[in-house]
Structure 1
Amino acid sequence: MKLKGIFAALAAILVMGMLTGCLGEDKFKQEVEKEAGAVKLVREVQRGDYDVITTAELKQLIDAKEEMVIVDTMPLEASYEKNHIPGAVQFLFPIPDMKTWNTDETAGKTKADYEKLLGPDKDKLIVVYCGFVKCTRSHNGAAWARKLGYTNVKRHPGGIFAWKGAEYPVETGK
C-alpha cells in the first residue's frame, strides 16, 4: 500500500513538473518567446531610429536631475493617473504601429500638440515609455518624436512595470 502511495505521489510530482515546466521542456519554448520579443524590439528600434534606455539608466538620470522630457504613452485615467514615473507627462499613443498620424488614435491630439509637449529644443533628451516591453505605444511615441526632428530620443522598453519591479518610486494623479 505504501509503495502504491509513493508511486502516486511521484506521478503527481511528474505531472506537476510537466505542467509547470520544472523538467525543462518549457525553458526551450520560453526561449523562443524571449527571442521573438527581443527581435521585435530590435526591429522597432531600427525602424524608429531611436535608442533605448534601461530602467537603472533612467533612474540615474532622474537622480542626477538631467534635463529631459519623459513621456508616458498610456491612457490618462486607466494608467497614468494611477502611477507613472516621476516627472513624466502623458500623451496617449495607440498600440498598433502608427505609420500616419491619426487624431482618433491620439485622443484628438495633433502632431503640433506632441511637438509642443516635447518643447522647442530638438536636441533635448526625450524618453518615451509605456507599460512593458511588448507594448508598442512607446515605439510610436519615440518614432514620432524622431519624425518631428528630435535627435536624442530613447525608448524605455521595460516601462512602468520594470520601474515598479525595480521598486523605484512612482507618482499618481495628473
Structure 2
Amino acid sequence: MKNILFLFILFFISASSFGQKTLSDLLKQYNTRSIPYISVQELRMLQLNSDVVILDTREENEYQVSHIQGSKLIGFNEFSSETVQAEITDKNTPIIVYCSLGIRSEEIGEKLTKAGYKNVQNLYGGIFEWSNNDYPVINNKTQETDSIHVFSKPWGKWLLKGEKVY
C-alpha cells in the first residue's frame, strides 16, 4: 500500500512539474529544506579532495543505468536506517544523499538525521544536475556513460544533458 501511495504521489508531482519554470521552483514546492543542500560543484570538490559518503537513494534499476562514482545504493522503497548504521558507525561522518532531483533524497536525509547522523546534506538537483554540469557518471560495469534513468517522461524534462533512459 505504501508503494502505491508513493507512486501516486510521484505521478502527481511529475504531472504538476510541467507547470514549473525552474528547478528551484520545483524544489521549493516539494522540499522543506529540512536537509541542507550541497551544490554539485561543492560535492565534486569534496569527492576529489576528502572523505565523504555519497548515498544514492534511487532504486536499483536507476542506479544500474548510472550513478555518481563512489556512491552506494541505499534505495528508497526498501530503505533501512539500520543497514546504514551497520556500515556508517560514526554519526559525524559527512553524508551526501542524492536521487534524480533531490526530492526522494530529502526524505531519506530526514530519516538519517532522525537516526542520529549530524552531517547530512542533500545534493541540489540530484544526478540530473550533476549530469547537466558535465560531471561523470558510471554504469553498473563502472564505465563512464551518458545514460541517466529519468524515472518518467515528465521528470525527464529536467535532464538537459545525457541520454534519457526510462
Taking structure 1 as the reference length, the TM-score comes to 0.63
**Partner Cα distance (1:165, 1:148) in 2:** 32
Query: Which 5+ residue runs of structure 1 have no aligned equivalent?
Result: 1-28, 94-104
User: Which residue in the other structure is 1:124 paired with?
Assistant: 93
One of 56, 73, 79 as aligned partner of 2:57: 73
Find the residue that maps to 2:137 and give its secondary structure: coil
Does 1:45 pair with 2:33? yes
User: Which residue in the other structure is 1:61 paired with?
Assistant: 46
Taking structure 2 as the reference length, the TM-score comes to 0.66
Q: How do residues 105-120 of structure 1 correspond to structure 2 at under 5 angstroms?
A: 105-106=77-78, 110-117=80-87, 119-120=88-89
Higher strand share: 2
Find the residue that maps to 1:155 and give its secondary structure: strand
Does 1:82 pair with 2:87? no
What's the Cα RMSD here? 2.1
Structure (1 or 2) with the larger CA radius of gyration: 1
Query: Which 5+ residue runs of structure 2 have no aligned equivalent?
Result: 1-18, 142-166
**Partner Cα distance (1:113, 1:38) in 2:** 28
Does 1:167 pair with 2:134? yes
Q: Alpha-carbon deviation of 1:158? A: 1.0
Q: Alpha-carbon deviation of 1:57? A: 0.6
